[in-house]
Structure 1
Amino acid sequence: MDKEEDEPLTPAGRLFLNPQMNQIISCAIGVKNPINIDSVKSELTNSIMLHHPRFTSLLVNDSKGKEHWRKTKVKVDQHVIIRHQPFTSDQDSDEDVVNDYLADLAVSCPLPTDKPLWDLHLLMAHNCFVFRVHHALGDGISLMSMFLTLCRRVDDPGQRPTILGVGSSATGQRSRWGLGRVVKVLWYSVVFLLEFVLRTLWWRDKKTAVSGGAGVELWPRKLVTAKFKIDDMKTVKKAVANATINDILFGVLSSGLSKYLEIRSTKGLREGLQITGVAMVNLRKQPGLQDFSKMMESKSSGISWGNKFGMILIPVCYNKGCADPLQFVKRAKAILDKKKLSLEAICSYKIGDFVMSWFGPKFASLLNYRILSNTTFTISNVIGPQEEITIIGNPVDYIRANNTSLPHALMINMLSYAGKADMQILVAKDIIPDPKVLAKCFEDSLLEMKEAAEADIETNK
């Protein structure tokens, strides 16, 4: 491609390349059989991915310093990094070793700009692929949809995994408009957007045992995995009217953080203390995973490629020794129902796009950094394939995702696959030295909710 044909970066892409917000997504795919290196390289060479402009372009700067994409010839060997030797760890399991590897990448290994901004690490001794992609290339939905083009179903090797538009978008269901509903939408939108403004100025969470702050993105990290069963979440869902999986997830967060703070806090915490999270919300018209070929072809359908998400602020409250675990879910649902009714996610996306376009990435990055520094944790939730799959003919055991560090001491990424949901918990280990205890608090919270839900369902029969 000639210089005249260079494609400018989107505002979101420029934001994610700014040093304060530089973000790389890492996806770990554990497989059941040894990895065949030649097959991996051959599959990549012939994949749809290498026809996508983002995966076949260099990042370049023009004479004014603005970033552009420039088409280049991809050399697969430069992107495949082979690690033959087993890695050492304080722990014995492959899971702990891979998580330690990912935690190191989260703070110490940027992607080189002399090639397209992605690479694939093959951890041969641990039967694991680690696919790293710069966030400027796309968001979690885009990248998961692309990843699935390399996969096939275990029960039908000729078919790609099922791609379903499941979940609920940030806009919610806005049918039955009336005056009361319009007033609520406007009121909640103004209130929630005002909080964004205050977070960029001075309002910050009270300091707790999980608080981070400016500069914490550079601190050493530890990564652990909390494991959940989707069926357990569905059981809880039945006991709380009109609840969603996201309601369950945030209920688990509230309960788990309350348990952990009770363990770690030497001073008594005030009941109802607010701990604020920054959640990423998919804004596509068709939520869930998408057909990768359609994402490449169409921008008008609402399912186009790229970074198409907004941010919302989620308040989680500390509650000591709640007698009914389902109350955490009910509180989470009440909050999320208001968030869905508001225009918070859409407005945060539009305002961010406006600030990037008119004031540049440095100012936009500063605003985002201030919001992150004044809140406590980050969370994202991506829905993966529902059935078991293979990648390059190798059955997949797990799929997990995380991204590079932010000024939060606690970053949470949930990804579901084949009836399981794995929560990657990335912590600043000097602030949260015992992340496995935190992971167990989350796991125990869901199990307690499941038991309470089963008892509630049995009582109401």
Structure 2
Amino acid sequence: MACGQWLKPINTTRNKTEDEVVEPLSPASRLFHAPQLNCCIIAMVGCKTMINVEVIKDGINQTMVKHPRISSKLVFHPKKHGKPVGWIRTKVNVDDHVIVPNLHSHINSPDKFVEDYVTNLTQTPMDLTKPLWEIHILNIKTKDANSIAIFRIHHSIGDGVSLMSLVLACTRKTSDPNAVPTFPTEDKKKKKLFENSSSFWLLSCFLWLWFALKMLWNTIVDLCFFLATMIFLKDTNTPVKASRGTEKGPKKFVYRILSLDDIKLVKNVMNVTINDVIVGITQAGLSRYLNRKYGESKGDQNVQQNHLPQHIRLRSTLLVNIRPTSKIQDLAEQMESNDPKRKWEWGNSIGYILLPFDIALRDDPLDYIRKAKTTIDKKKQSLEAVFTFICAEFILKALGLGVTATITHRALSNATLSFSNVVGPKEEISFYGHPMTFLAPSVYGHPHALTVHFQSYMDQMTLVLAVDQNVIPEPHRLCDDIEEFLAFAKEAAQKKKIFHI
């Protein structure tokens, strides 16, 4: 059921104490309460051991509930159709947020049970009279874990990167229970050409001017395409394109654990980024999946035959956090502190990027990665995300929430999928003393039938798909296709490496 169908005005008339201050919702947070964009973030956490519920509750009481957004509930305007207008601090009863369902002692397919449980969550509205987060504990053994914790957090609380940072700030290294997780960093060493010559400064000025002009041109082109997408430019109607109203339907979440070492091998051989590799193998997997679906519609089961229509337009929307994210160490220290005067950097400061996907059958699997790198490099030299954020804020102030939500929904609907990639800890971590085996986050409530999310953790990369099964009935086959193309890319990269040696 959509937010607009069940949200009723809540009377906020009461005697407030001096400490009760209503904090207004940010523009993006208001959008995430519009019926067309009522989004929640889901994160599945696999643990090595059975989860001690009381330990989890005690840990949450000592850390998470000290975060102002986690301990705040919505305030609704009593006259404007019950629209949310701000946040107000409240006392959190952790028992209301940690949910432990009664499970049968023998479940035939634990992994399918977890998938069905999460699907059911996507059709269960959150209780807006309390802080908008909850944790479901499933002490059930699956193929990858001995227990599962499922986080559900409303997107209005914060953007995906901020919320994942908050969750990870509640974890500690298994090797050092007092240390927060550490994350891999990119090697940003650059060659200094002509540093001691007089031509160095002239060359630097020329390169800076060239970069500025290229940035300006790419931004103008990207904004023109974004504007066209808001008005009329639609993606090709492929077998993964959402139908009308998909944002209100149930979503099925499936995941696959890939080898991060294999991804790094391809990255190093091709001298690209990890993001280039995962976009490349996603394009390849989608190409193979769509080719099979088009072949099946023609009654041809030969997957080697090219059944793809020419000139498929298929784009992904990427949400980009344009505000510096709080560091894990800072968040952990803030939650452990009892100082009410400490400032929290939080909210939803996000812009949108439209990323074209290359859908084609190619003989060389590395061609998908080369194509991905070319596309991503252009997007890096553009201010598309910044300007879409500024435009959204301007439209919201000038035309109101209804118009902004309609425009945003239309732009998203005209694209095909959502895509994201988040860097995770490089060593094993524990969630309140429970060692984690995997981390699988995603989102639902937006008008896409397919959301692709990659999350790194230790030496693995978790691929998470959130799908509308009315559109994509076999999400595990799409996982297979992406996983197989990673294997093909690894094999091709190894051959290339040997050839160059």
**Closer, same or farther in 2 for the Cα pair 1:70/1:87, shift >3 Å?**
farther
Deviation at 1:86, TM superposition (A): 4.3
Which secondary structure does the structure 2 equivalent of 1:445 belong to?
helix
Q: Call closer, same or farther: CA 1:229–1:288 in 2, change over 3 Å.
A: farther
Please tell me whether residue 45 in structure 1 is matched to residue 61 in structure 2: yes
For residues 362-387 of structure 1, give each alpha carbon's deviation from its aligned partner in whole angstroms, at most 9, with x where no partner exists: 21111111011111111111111111
Q: Which has the higher Rg, Structure 1 or Structure 2? A: 2
**Cα deviations by residue, 1:254-304 (Å, 9 ceiling, x for unpaired):** 10111101111135423442211111223244798673258889xxxx993
Alpha-carbon distance in structure 1 between the residues aligned to 2:332 and 2:90: 21
Residue 130 (structure 1) shift: 0.9
Over 3 Å counting, the alpha-carbon distance change for 1:295 and 1:391 in structure 2 is closer
Q: How does 1:150-189 map to 2 (within 5 A)?
A: 150-163=170-183, 177-189=207-219
Counterpart in the other structure of 2:94:
76
Verify: 1:362 aligned to 2:392, yes or no.
Answer: no
Indicate conservation of the 8 Å contact 1:16/1:22, yes or no. Answer: yes
The 2-side partners of 1:2 and 1:62 are apart by 19
Change (3 A) 1:196 1:86: farther
Counterpart among 236, 239, 255 of residue 209 in structure 1: 239
- Matching of residues 189-228 of structure 1 within 5 Å: 189-228=219-258
1:112 corresponds to which residue? 127
Q: Percent identity?
A: 35
- 1:255-270 to 2 correspondences below 5 Å: 255-265=284-294, 266=297, 268-270=307-309
Q: CA deviation at 1:104?
A: 2.3
Letter in 2 for 1:75: N
CA contact (8 A) 1:29 1:398 kept: yes
Structure 1 partner of 2:427: 387
- Matched-pair contact (CA < 8 Å) for 1:24–1:135: yes
Distance 1:279 1:294, change over 3 A: farther
Alignment check: 8 A CA contact 1:294 1:304 kept: no
TM-score using structure 1 length: 0.90
Given candidates 488, 492, 501, the residue that maps to 1:448 is 488
Alignment pair present for 1:15 and 2:31: yes
Q: Provide the TM-score with structure 2 as the length reference.
A: 0.83
The Cα shift of 1:167 comes to 9.7
- Give the aligned partner of residue 261 of structure 2: 231
- Which is further off, 409-418 or 280-289? 280-289
* Cα pair distance change 1:88/1:54, threshold 3 Å: farther
Deviations along 1:397-455, one digit per CA (max 9) or x if unpaired, are: 11111112322111112211111111111111121111111110000111111111111
Q: Kindly tell me: are residues 88 and 318 of structure 1, through their superposed partners in 2, closer, same or farther at Cα, counting changes over 3 Å?
A: farther
Q: Can you list the C-alpha shifts for 1:56-79, whole angstroms capped at 9, x where unaligned?
A: 111012356451111111111111
CA distance 1:119–1:167, change in 2 (3 Å): farther
Change (3 A) 1:240 1:86: farther
Q: CA RMSD in A?
A: 2.5
Amino acid across the alignment from 1:312: I
Matched, 1:278 2:301: no
The answer as to 2:54 corresponding to 1:24 is no
Contact between 1:43 and 1:392, CA under 8 Å: does it hold in 2?
A: yes
Tell me which of 40, 50, 73 is aligned to 1:58.
Answer: 73
In 2 relative to 1, CA 406–163 (structure 1 residues): closer, same or farther, beyond 3 Å? same
- Number of residue pairs matched? 445
* Matching residue's letter, 1:40: I
> SS at 1:54's partner residue?
coil
Consecutive unaligned residues in structure 2, runs of 5 or more: 1-15, 142-146, 189-203, 299-306, 338-342
Shift of 1:333: 0.5
Q: 1:314 to 1:10 in 2, by over 3 A?
A: same
Q: Which residue does 1:172 correspond to in 2?
A: none
